[in-house]
Amino acid sequence: MAQAVPDSVLAETAWNKRRLYALSNRIGPSGTDYDLTLPVTAPAHSEEIGEIPELGEDDVGQAVEQTREAAKEWREFSVDERAEVLTKFANLAADNRKELLDLLQLETGKSRAHALEETIDVPQNADYYADKGPGILATESRASGIPFATSAEVQYDSKGVVGIISPWNYPLVLSFADAIPALLAGNGVVLKPDEKTPFTALRLAELLEEAGLPEGVVTIVTGDGPTVGSAIIERVDYLTFTGSSETGKIVAEQAGRNLIDCSLELSGKNPMIILDDADVEEAARGAVQGSFTNAGQLCLANERIYVHEDIYDDFLDEFVSQTESLELGADFEFDADVGSLIDSDQLERVQSHVADAVESGATVHTGGNARSEIGPYFYEPTILTDVPATSLPACEETFGPLAVVESVSSAEEAIEKANDSDHGLNASVWSGDRERAKEIAREIESGTVCINDPFLVGWASYDAPMGGVKESGIGRRHGPEGLKRYTEPKTIATSAVGPLGPIPGVPDELFAKGFSAVSNIQRRLNQLRR
């Protein structure tokens, strides 16, 4: 078992070692004992809070097969009955928000305000699919080849078992935003959370069963990423992955070899365009939110900020001022604005990006220092200018509390710079003229573009798809697209006149002329209706 956590850490939360140990026993296929080998640490406190099993390939195979068997019962539920389970789950997730907040902060070190976003998102996402999902999955009539003589309809069948590999930065949202629609479609789910943050996913799986999901339809597996992740891809019928572009390419290659479809949300290097008619104070507030939410460990974060030269100085002053007012902290109250980075690797990445930029001639306007007196992985929100195009923060995703600000002379220059990237996940445009901002948004190569908001207005539009272009991924979550990806569309076509083709007793040449004439009439009628 894990070493005891000092009372000063867990005593402030709704959790204790016994409850976390009970959650860890839900990992992997049922009826199997494991040696607990992987520690889980509270990064803001550098204290071990629990341990989880390190599963092997055979364990994952058994988990997938048990999930496949359990999903047979789940598929017997009507879509409306599955939606009712999601509604109950949404209510349970909302009712247990405080303990989920505590657990999120323990595992990730994020501030309570930023953890709150996740605990609000999951119930809303479940409510959306419970409300809209049955209609999205309903059998659809489609235009047939020969009106009146034939008909066609499409039904949406489940895939089978969906594999979900989710990251550590948003362990509630980026696992269950994908699991919820997969379940509504009638699939079983094998979920691999990051080994740094397993307990939040385990708690939500527990709440799903409390809401009425049959036992075993969602199975949590943990362990070494390459081993467990690869074993999942080898055995499931569909895969969802959220992570880096480099790993995403490996995942896509393996999925392709197994002829299974996948959706990938990958890295971002997101631009923020601030036009000359933007409200400076509002734009600066958005830049703070977009750059430093979750200590910048957000795939939707704006790391590149392009500001029109006419308001550049005013914006930079306001941005720096608002950033310097942020409070760093690790407590379980709402008084801290920015929390911890996840671990030493992430801290080292941020430090190396800042150091490389400064050595190349960049200017630090605020921040630029680790704050070990607060916690082992805290880093100040940092604003840089004069960053060379060849430096690390200009070329790579930092994934930390670092924003690069640059002056541009026109909207056209801002668009060109925004599009000069291998990534295209999220972007934002800021202007007092929303229609002008929308016109610019249409020119930006990105899966989502937000107007006068850094990312939440896009993410919270649950009926609209979200995902990336270029190296930021393939596929979409949210909306009808986020549900139908977990289905196999099946066409059922019917003839009211028997086999289509030559009619017995009618000469082939006469049939061909008649069929051609009917086809031409049908085409002309279709053209007139356009």
Query: In the structure encoding, which two tokens stand for residue 105, read together?
Result: 């902060």
Say what the alpha-carbon torsion angle 133, 134, 136, 137 is, to the nearest 10 degrees: 120
Residue 265 catalytic? yes
For residue 95, give both structure tokens: 């009712």
On whether the CB atoms of residues 214 and 70 are closer than 8 A, the answer is yes
Catalytic residue among 107, 117, 265, 397: 265
| Residue with token string 């390190």 | 54
Kindly tell me the burial class for residue 396, based on how many C-beta atoms sit within 10 Å of its own C-beta (0-12, 13-18, 19 or more). Answer: middle
CA torsion sign, 72 to 73 to 76 to 79?
negative
In angstroms, rounded to a whole number, what is the distance separating the alpha carbons of residues 187 and 191? Answer: 12
List of E strands, 43-178 = 47-53, 140-142, 150-158, 161-165
Q: Which helix (H) or strand (E) holds 188?
A: strand 188-192
What are the phi and psi torsion angles at 153 (to 5°)?
Answer: -140, 155
Long-range pairs, 365-370, Cβ under 8 A, ≥24: 365/316, 365/320, 366/320, 366/323, 366/324, 367/323, 367/401, 367/402
Q: Collapse the DSSP code of 428 into the 3-class scheme (helix H, G, I; strand E, B; otherwise coil) and give the result.
A: strand
Please state, in angstroms and rounded to a whole number, the distance separating the CA atoms of residues 429 and 424: 14
Task: Please identify which residue in the block is written with the tokens 């879509």.
Answer: 79
Q: 476 CB contacts (<8 Å, ≥6 apart)?
A: 263, 447, 465, 466, 467, 482, 485
**Exposure string for 7-28, b = 16+ CB within 10 A, e = fewer:** eebbeebebebebbeebbebbb
Rama region for 368: left / alpha / beta (φ>0; ψ in -120 to 50; rest): left
Per the residue annotation, which of 299, 303, 318, 471 is the catalytic one?
Answer: 299
DSSP per position, 445-493: -SSEEEESSSSHHHHT-TTS-B--EETTEES-BSHHHHHHTTEEEEEEE
Residues 241/253, Cβ–Cβ less than 8 Å: no
How far, in whole angstroms, is CA 69 from its chain's centroid?
27
User: Who contacts 530 (Cβ-Cβ below 8 Å, separation ≥6)?
Assistant: none
Closest CA to 451 of 425, 476, 432: 432
CA distances (Å), origin 326, targets 46, 293, 414: 23, 11, 28
Q: Which of 159, 155, 137 is nearest to 67 (CA)?
A: 159
| CB of 103 closer than 8 Å to CB of 149 | no
What are the residue numbers of the active site?
265, 299
